[in-house]
Chains A and B, each alone.
Chain A
Amino acid sequence: MKKITLLFVLFLSNCVVAQEISIFHSALDSSRFSATFFSNYAVNSNALNNSFYKKVYLGGFISNEDKALVGKKLKNINRVGFDVNAGVSFSQKIDTVFNQTGYAYFVSLNNCKHLDMRFSKDLFNVLVYGNEPYGGKSLSLGGFSASYVAYQQVQFGFTKTVKNDSAFTEYGLGLSYLNGQKNFTTIISKANFFTEQNGDYITLDFAGQLAQSDTGKGEFGSRSGSGFCTDFFFHSVFENKSELSVSIQNLGFISFNEKSPIYLIDSNFTFDGLEVDKLLTIKDSVLSAISKDSIVDNVAIHGNKGYSYTLPTTFTFNYTYIIQENKLQLTAGLITRIQANFKPMVYLTAKYFVSNKFVIIPLCSYGGYGNLSSGLAFQTDMGKGFILAAGSRNIEGYIVPKKTTGQGLYFSLKKYF
């Protein structure tokens, strides 16, 4: 039984290291019940470094040195992604269903946050340095997209395991109800920005749209939208013990309610100063004429209406090859995510069994929101049915934060009954 349990942990590690924590595969365990708690966060970019994240998220002054370090990595188009997830799950094997064996069901409750952003080099520069250094130059701020979503997930699903003498195949399906807590989505297809060298005028040729969920809500657990998603899983262990797995996660959407502000803008602005009739009556009321609200009223088509947000859907493929049974195995995989600025990521893990209760897993990957990353994870059988897994797929982010662009931690604790 312990061996099977450890195999389960090893397989789970594939998913974890691949940033995808799944509650499938419960059939690998000989226990009847299992309960899991997991949590992870990950942030990565091909430009922004860990020092920058820290100051943005935890507060602090972003110095010119910080800006310059990011500037060195900036490409014409840059991306950043951020995920935070936590949840609990429960699974139970079922003896027979319609006279069939090998079934199990599972339920889970998850809290998920996801940020996905794409931005140009010019946009970053004008945001962090201001427009004055770029007076007289045309800046391309378009090609920008950003979406943030926070939701709670209630998932129910089943798995089916088909075994023969030396191999088995497992597949499963999960269906989820999603409580849409908060969303912000913007796409700026065009934003050509020009500041006259002496500040005489500013022009912005702009086309974009913005949708935001009900601004009266947004706290944890509040519902500004509802949605559904499905997860699929297929896993096969061959006679030579090598394994192939494929999964699709978060294929679905959230519909946000009718109170969601929507803005559509396609305009060419030139601002050469607020026209003042009475020069000597410069008061708040005059300056307020250039307030955000008045500008929006003038240039945007806006109103409140419902809209649908398509979840970033993750596809995972991996293949595991046993080099030395119960000692060392290699897994190569590919993860890609649609509806996101996520580049296909390839990864390679090596699992080394220090003992039959403790495994360490080094990792390297390339792609995703960032570039080359390295990670390290471990799993351990703590006895009495407790399995603990923890690690990071961007271990370098904690060692050289100014030079690296990703960080993340995960852990899970599973109890078998």
Chain B
Amino acid sequence: MKIKRSVVLPLLLGFVFTSCKKNLDETNWDIDALTPVFKTTLNINNLLADSLIQENADNSLKLVYSNRFYNFNVDSLLDVPDTTVRSSFKIPFGSINATPGFQLFNSTSDTKYAAKGAALNKLSIKSGTLTFLIKSKVEEKTDFTYSIPSASKDGIAFTFSTNVPASDGANDGVYKGSFDISGYDFDLTGQYHNTVNAFTTSVQVGINPNGNTVIITPADSIEVFLTFSAIVPSYAKGYFGTQNSSVASTSNFDLFNRIKAGVIGLENTTVTLKLTNGIGVDATAYINSLTSFNSRTNTSVSLVNNIIGAPINVNRALESPYTPSFYYNVMNSNNSNIKALLENLPDKMSYNIDVSINPNGNISNGNDFVFTDKLIDASLEVEMPLSFFATKLRLIDTVEVSLTEQTEHNCINSGSLTLKVDNGFPLEASIQLYLLNDKGSIYDSLLISSLIEAAPVDDNLIVTAKKSSKLVIPLNKVKVDKLFVTKKICIKTIFNTVSNPRYVKIYSDYSMDLKLIANFNYNIQPK
């Protein structure tokens, strides 16, 4: 027994010596880490979309922005309602001993389509459905072929064949089927090309060759219900009639969307009202009112210009080659209050517009045309030198963030982020960051106490050097955790230009260097 203990003891000790479990997972210590994280240089192209910025000869910049506030509704020009056409076929009198394969009917005719107010001779279908419902009183299965020679796609006329079940004497034999007619072009001039809104159809009905001989009487009719539904045209030609429409509505104006408050003064703003007529019809428009509306301040400014209430005649577009027609009216501080209209920092434009189509009747001799993606619209073309003054101009932007995979953030105890800014813009700014939850609600903020100081300028208000600033964002563990799980960050920036109210120009070579430096007390957990 003694021997056994003597053996077991060292074996146990040996096991402990060699297998004592190291536990690096629980070894940890804190360090103070200081490191740059990222750097970037922002110029005006980084702050505004490239498409909005144009450079002048003197390297100064101008902002070019287009806002289409009015679109002509194609439905008011070309209404293609769901339509059902009924056709019936039967022998007029007597009776026929119809053997298998016997052809009962072979008919070609024009079918009228109800196009409200328009006399169309061509119609191309962007999308739509053609549904057949065939009811047969013939007491034998029939072979049915239906074609629309005036409707073709890629040069092939629409046609289909089917078997219609026999009637049992009490109930009709019924066939129902639907066809996608997207991409079909319809010639609506009829089989003799002398009418409008009519397409040619052809029907052949015969006794099925595998059937039995059956006696056909006038009571043995075949009815065809042809339904056009959800028709969306892509092109139409004809005479669209004289039509008047009036629209009073509001559209978004997103040029100043990020600006939530403050005062801005703009220099030499020019706005061109542009009317585009993409339809092959003559049109006369009346802009009864155009009002900028700032929903944040609930203020509105209506346009004052001699175009208001005056007829604007816009010629028809040319079909071949396709050439839309334009009308321009340039507005500036000399002929309008357009500057005040923009300085209202609108987020919406409300308008009241009357449009008359073919005011002089069918002067095109039935050659009006429309491509349904090329209509009539009205837009404001803003051309604004980046020469302005700003007072407490508050910009708010929300950016998506995705840092959830960086799990090391759990190790940050506390610290700060320092944003080092070398500002080359003649603007001073303060920044505040807000963390947003999934629903877009603010649930925490990152305080930044310092200002980004404006770059110094000379007598001509041209920047002479960059100005350095440091913005420190203190963080504790709770804020760090929130920062790394947040999905969006709302950035609120308040701008002031130097030398207000003198206008400050922004040049293409102005830029701002940013560098983010992290200083964290970090818990090291080697694994």
Contact = CB atoms under 8 A, between A and B. Distances in A.
B439 interface: no
Contact of A132 (B33, B38, B400): B33
Contact of A199 (B22, B36, B38): B36
A130 B522 contact: yes
Interface residues of A, number: 59
Interface of A: 37-41, 55-63, 67, 84-86, 111, 127-133, 135, 195, 198-202, 271-284, 286-288, 382-384, 386, 388, 409, 411-413
B229 to A, nearest CB: 46
Given A39-B13, A130-B31, A201-B36, 15 more contacts: A38-B14, A57-B23, A57-B27, A60-B26, A60-B27, A130-B522, A195-B35, A271-B36, A275-B38, A279-B514, A282-B401, A283-B400, A286-B38, A382-B6, A411-B14
21 contacts: A56-B24, A58-B20, A58-B23, A59-B25, A59-B27, A84-B18, A132-B519, A198-B517, A199-B34, A202-B36, A271-B35, A273-B36, A273-B37, A273-B39, A273-B517, A275-B39, A284-B403, A384-B2, A386-B3, A411-B13, A413-B10
A133 B39 CA distance: 23
Interface of chain A: mostly helix, strand, loop or mixed: mixed
B194 interface: no
Given A128-B31, A131-B35, A273 B516 contact: yes
A39 B6 contact: no
B353 to A, nearest CB: 37
Nearest to B404: A284
Given A37-B10, A129-B32, A274 B38 contact: yes
Interface of chain B: mostly helix, strand, loop or mixed: strand
A250 to B, nearest CB: 18
B399 interface: yes
B7 interface: yes
Nearest to B23: A59
B493 to A, nearest CB: 12
Given A198-B517, A284-B406, A37 B34 contact: no
Contacts of A58: 20-23, 26
B274 interface: no
A199 B35 contact: yes
Nearest to A129: B31
A287 B420 contact: no
Contacts of B401: 282-283
A409 B26 contact: no
User: Closest 5 CB pairs between A and B?
Assistant: A59-B26, A130-B31, A39-B14, A273-B39, A59-B23
B418 interface: yes
B518 interface: yes
B22 A57 contact: yes
Contact of B6 (A128, A271, A388): A388
Given A56-B27, A59-B24, A200-B515, A284 B38 contact: no
B107 interface: no
B23 A284 contact: no
Contacts of A413: 6-7, 10
B17 interface: yes
A200 B22 contact: no
B10 A411 contact: yes
A328 B35 CA distance: 63
